Amino acid sequence: MLPLIVVNNPADWNLSLENVRVVSARQYLTEVAAEYPEKVRVYNLCRSYRYQSAGYYVSLLAEARGHKPIPGIATIEDMKSQHMVRFVSDDLDELIQSSLAPIKSEAFTLSIYFGRNLAKRYDRLCSYLHASFPVPFARAQFTLTQGKWVLRHFAPIPASEIPQEHKPFVVDVMRGYFAGKKPSVPKKTALRYDMAILWNPDEADAPSDERALQKFIKAAESLGMGCERITRHDYGRLAEFDALFIRETTNVNHHTYRFARRAQAEGLVVMDDPDSILKCTNKVYLAELLARHRIRGPKTVIIHRDNLGDVELHLGFPCVLKQPDGAFSTGVIKVADSRELTEKATAMLEKSDLVIAQEFVKTDFDWRIGIIDQKPLYACKYFMARKHWQIIKRDQAGKTSFGISETVPVELVPKQVIKTALKIANLMGNGLYGVDLKQIGNECVVIEVNDNPSIDSGLEDALLKDELYKRIMEVFLKRIEEKKAGR
């Protein structure tokens, strides 16, 4: 399949490149989709991607036709967003500083051609920027502010503006790029769809261990879906897939949220979807949601700088302080008296304008009910770590120890536990959730809703075994097929 290059006017295309097809934007936009192979890669090299320009419509129509445009509409919108440019600048800060350290001026422009630059020393930075904003030709503009390089602007380079002296290099880069995209040897089993699993190989407390990840991949392939692990550096490849499964701890101010948002914009089936990440990772939101729908949670006071005195009045001691976006039992502190409350809360308020204070509810274990597609999937009892009030105990050196876990058949879980878990999870969405509850007599207290629940081999899958992974992949398959059918 020849790469399809779309330009405003083919007469202006003056790069001597063989084995490509060059068409005008007008031709691509007016010809029927049947003129082009399914899933052809469309390299949009129009002069402008501004809203409702020909370049904008080339990428928009390519997505509607099921082609693979580079850049896609999500990339075009991201380049316009100063928030996204700042996010990428912060994300790549260490690499930016080391790459640009020798430069003596206070401004620098980097030309990026399919992730490469004439100066080889910038190749790594160019590669990462291209992954963040996958555009064939682009300029990244940096400024030196208070001794620190910052990415200020990222914009496409029209093919007509490539300097004459750069063209031989650009042609060589494009030849190599297109050669690297040749189809690989097909697998024995024809795979209908492609799934990406986002993970972090260096994450200490990842939501799934290595064996569980392998089981997810095996389950996906058994259903006819190719499955590949990707990392934060594969942002630019999302359009290659039909689904994204996030198996890395999520947060809003984090690349996991950016991946979810981008994948959703590209039309992928996504778990965790960005809306679930927004809702589940913020305990202020959960506290308000529980109150609004009359679902019992721990007695709660939302702390700001002027109401610390309300905590002792309404909750007493001991009580628990929580960072709004804490995960995996981090950012959760038990305080014993008003002095400790003032000290710990003041420190937490340096990071967030609001902090959660909750009554301390003592139980021997927490229920975790796994839910997917608004149905219960598994149930576990997580017991408190030895001589500790949480299921995870961290010592001063950062070493962790866990309480024991017990997997329970869903049908044997008290009905009120399942009913409460489903009620709060369904208010969050229809993704994959882990609802943590404490059972006190016949009542349930919702502690947390996790958008990225842990699924480890030998724990959550202790009863269902491989069937647990298959059920999750079946939901992905059903949603991909519904999306392809336009439902």
Q: Would you state the structure tokens that stand for residue 49, as one six-digit string?
A: 């991607």
Averaged pLDDT score across all residues of the chain: 89
CB neighbour burial string for 177-195, b if at least 16 within 10 angstroms, e if fewer: bbeeeeeeeeeeeeeebbb
Q: Are 43 and 138 in contact (CB under 8 A)?
A: no
pLDDT over 90 percentage in the chain: 60
Helix (H) or strand (E) holding 25: helix 25-30
Does the pLDDT at position 182 exceed 50?
A: no
Q: Are 126 and 139 in contact (CB under 8 A)?
A: no
Instruction: Dump pLDDT digits (tens) for 399-415.
Output: 776 778 899 999 999 99
Length of the chain: 487
pLDDT over 70 percentage in the chain: 94
Instruction: Dump pLDDT digits (tens) for 121-171.
Output: 999 999 999 988 999 999 999 999 999 999 999 999 888 888 999 999 999
Q: What topology is assigned to 4-76 in CATH?
A: Oxidized Rhodanese; domain 1 (3.40.250)
Cis, peptide link before residue 93, omega less than 30° from 0: no
Does the pLDDT at position 391 exceed 80?
A: no
Does the pLDDT at position 180 exceed 60?
A: yes
Does the pLDDT at position 308 exceed 80?
A: yes
Give the 3-state secondary structure of residue 240: helix
- DSSP assignment of 391-441 equals SEEE-TT--EEE--EEEE-GGGS-HHHHHHHHHHHHHH-SSEEEEEEEEET
Q: Name residue, tokens 């300097």.
A: 163
Q: pTM (2 decimals)? A: 0.70
Q: Are 248 and 256 in contact (CB under 8 A)?
A: yes
Domain ranges of the chain: 4-76, 82-163, 193-273+472-484, 280-465
Task: List CB contacts of 322: < 8 A, sequence separation 6 or more.
Answer: 283, 331, 332, 333, 355, 356, 357, 358
CATH architecture of 280-465: 2-Layer Sandwich (3.30)
Q: Are 59 and 50 in contact (CB under 8 A)?
A: no
Q: Would you state the structure tokens that stand for residue 218, as one six-digit string?
A: 């095996």
Instruction: Dump pLDDT digits (tens) for 217-273.
Output: 999 999 999 999 999 888 888 888 999 999 999 988 889 999 999 999 888 999 999
Q: pLDDT band for position 183 (50/70/90)?
A: very low
Instruction: Dump pLDDT digits (tens) for 103-129.
Output: 999 999 999 999 999 999 999 999 999
Q: Please report the beta strands in 272-327, taking only residues with DSSP state E, as ranges in sequence order.
A: 300-303, 319-322
Give the pLDDT mean for 344-371.
90
Reported CATH class of domain 193-273+472-484: alpha beta
Q: What is the pLDDT of residue 181?
A: 45
How many CA atoms lie within 13 Å of 454's alpha carbon, on the beta-carbon side?
17
Give the 3-state secondary structure of residue 150: strand
Q: pLDDT band for position 33 (50/70/90)?
A: low
Give the pLDDT mean for 350-358.
87
Give the 3-state secondary structure of residue 138: strand
Q: pLDDT band for position 327 (50/70/90)?
A: low
Q: Which residues pair with 154 in a beta bridge?
A: 140
Helix (H) or strand (E) holding 383: strand 375-383
Q: What is the pLDDT of residue 355?
A: 87
Helix (H) or strand (E) holding 24: strand 21-24
Question: Which amino acid, residue 166?
Answer: H
Q: Please report the beta strands in 115-240, taking only residues with DSSP state E, as ranges in sequence order.
A: 137-145, 148-156, 193-198, 225-230
Q: Do domains 4-76 and 193-273+472-484 have the same CATH topology?
A: no
Task: List CB contacts of 196: < 8 A, sequence separation 6 or more.
Answer: 227, 228, 229, 230, 234, 237, 238, 240, 241, 243, 244, 245
Q: pLDDT band for position 184 (50/70/90)?
A: very low
Q: Name residue, tokens 């904008």.
A: 56
How far is Cα of residue 89 from the mean position of the Cα atoms in its chain?
17
Cα→Cα distances 227→195, 248, 433, 471, 473, Å: 5, 16, 21, 16, 11
Among 13-17, 122-126, 275-279, 409-413, the minimum mean pLDDT is found in: 13-17
Question: CB-based burial of residue 387 (10 Å sphere; 0-12 exposed, 13-18 middle, 19+ buried)?
Answer: exposed
Q: What is the pLDDT of residue 438?
A: 94
Question: CB-based burial of residue 139 (10 Å sphere; 0-12 exposed, 13-18 middle, 19+ buried)?
Answer: middle
Give the 3-state secondary structure of residue 365: strand
Q: Are 231 and 201 in contact (CB under 8 A)?
A: yes
CA angle at residue 389 from 386 to 393, to 5 degrees?
A: 60
Q: Name residue, tokens 């017991």.
A: 383
